[in-house]
Amino acid sequence: MSIHAPLILDIQAHSLSAVDRRRLANPLVGGMILFGRNWQSRAQLSDVCADIKSIRPDLLIAVDHEGGRVQRFRTDGFTHLPSMRAIGELWGQDDKGQPGSGVLKACEAATSAGFILASELRACGVDFSFTPVLDLDHGESGVIGDRAFARDPRVVSLLARSLMQGLLQAGMGNCGKHFPGHGAVKADSHVALPVDKRSLKAILADDAQPYRWLTSVLTAVMPAHVIYSKVDSRPAGFSPRWLQDILRGQLGFQGVVCTDDLSMAAARQMDGRTLSYTEAVITALQAGCDLALLCNRSAVNAGAELDEVLDQLAEAQVKGHWLPNEVSEERRLNLLPRSPARPWDELVRSSDYMQALDRLP
């Protein structure tokens, strides 16, 4: 039987319960995502990450840790990283008599932020962060806001590439989000399903440009919970048109496509109804996603909903309603770091780490 572990789940507490262990051992689970509720201290974080790897070394330990207001770990030595907007604002701040110095400062700050972000996470056992945000700051989206570098796709692309270089220096991959662009819609996709009424030509010429320019260096992409009504009636994460025809076909992306969190009711809207969790996972995988995030359900009815999804997904596999994809599994494994992480004490005393701190805004 082909192997494919497409689900990324969460846990509820600071340590693994017996139920968590059983769930993470399920061959359909490819990893887990950490939240602020899972954080107590660096020692605790390191312990839970080591515990996860003792169950299955191939499990991907991930987190949303971007900087600014989206940073899960903020105490016990973790650097308070700037928002991406704060980095982008350096772009036009030239030193007197030094044209272009602001561009250099912004790029150096982005690389430093990526390096610090990845180095600190990896020192505690975390493999991967869903960053950077490639959305453009149209001034419309409250949920994106200062998470975006800038309005200009050229600025966004160069600063994102610089941040990705910093991640790479610490041995971590990257995830561009939210394809093809979330910044031009007002609705918060956590609670409502936004609709972008622009044409495909307009989107490709503006918001999607970073994906075109960065396709060779992006290791993962997260589609937006947005309907682009002139392109497809389905949200991007459920759309073969967006994921297979445009992202992979037209833009040439070859890495991982991972859904945003499918636990949100707004994220499961399609064709006028709300999909079940299992339906949403299968629809996303059939559309072209490699991994499906299902978060914040581990505490609901003691996680019974997650167990139901695992059982139903296994049944769908047996019945041929969903077929494992060995290419998707290979992509998932490629997100795992391939070099050892520096221990925390060694990291914070190193000259490259201290230099990176000095370059943050």
Average pLDDT estimate for 35-50 = 96
Concerning whether 64 is annotated as a catalytic residue, the answer is: no
| Between 297 and 135, the higher pLDDT residue | 135
More confident residue, 14 or 305: 14
> Between residues 3 and 66, which one has the greater pLDDT?
66
Q: Quote the pLDDT of residue 190.
A: 67
User: Domain locations in the chain?
Assistant: 7-358
What is the average pLDDT across 165-184? Answer: 96
Pair 158, 107: CB distance under 8 Å: yes
- The catalytically annotated residue of 152, 190, 245, 352 is 190
Sign (positive or negative) of CA dihedral 27, 50, 62, 298? positive
User: From the candidates 64, 260, 261, 290, which is the catalytic residue?
Assistant: 260
CATH H-level superfamily of 7-358? Glycoside hydrolase, family 3, N-terminal domain (3.20.20.300)
Q: What pLDDT is stored for residue 97 in this prediction?
A: 79
Concerning whether 190 is annotated as a catalytic residue, the answer is: yes
Judge whether residue 315 has pLDDT over 90.
yes
pLDDT for 318? 86
The amino acid that residue 67 corresponds to is G
Only one residue has tokens 């995030």, namely: 293
pLDDT reading at 298 higher than 90:
no
Give mean pLDDT, residues 153-172. 98
User: What is the spatial distance between Cα 316 and Cα 323, in angstroms, rounded to a whole number?
Assistant: 8
Give 270's pLDDT tier (boundaries 50, 70, 90).
confident
Percentage of the chain lying above the pLDDT 90 cut: 83
Q: What does the pLDDT read at residue 266?
A: 75
Residue 301 above 60 pLDDT? no
- Res. 303: pLDDT tops 90: no
Tell me the mean pLDDT in the region 99-108.
94
pLDDT of 144 above 60: yes
Quickly tell me which residue has 């509720």 as its tokens.
Answer: 37
- pLDDT computed for residue 171 by the predictor: 98
pTM above 0.85, yes or no: yes
* DSSP track, 76-89: TT---PPPHHHHHG
Percent of the chain whose predicted confidence (pLDDT) is above 70: 96
Of 62-66, 190-194, 207-211, least confident by mean pLDDT is: 190-194
Residue 187 has pLDDT above 90, yes or no: no
φ, ψ of residue 323 to 5 degrees: the values are -115, 130
Q: Which residue has the tokens 């975390």?
A: 126
Tokens of 210: 């970073």
Average pLDDT over residues 302-319: 86
More confident residue, 270 or 351: 351
The length of the chain, given as a count of residues = 361
Backbone angles phi, psi at 285, to 5 degrees: -65, -40
Q: Which of 65-74, 76-85, 94-103, 327-336 has the lowest mean pLDDT?
A: 94-103
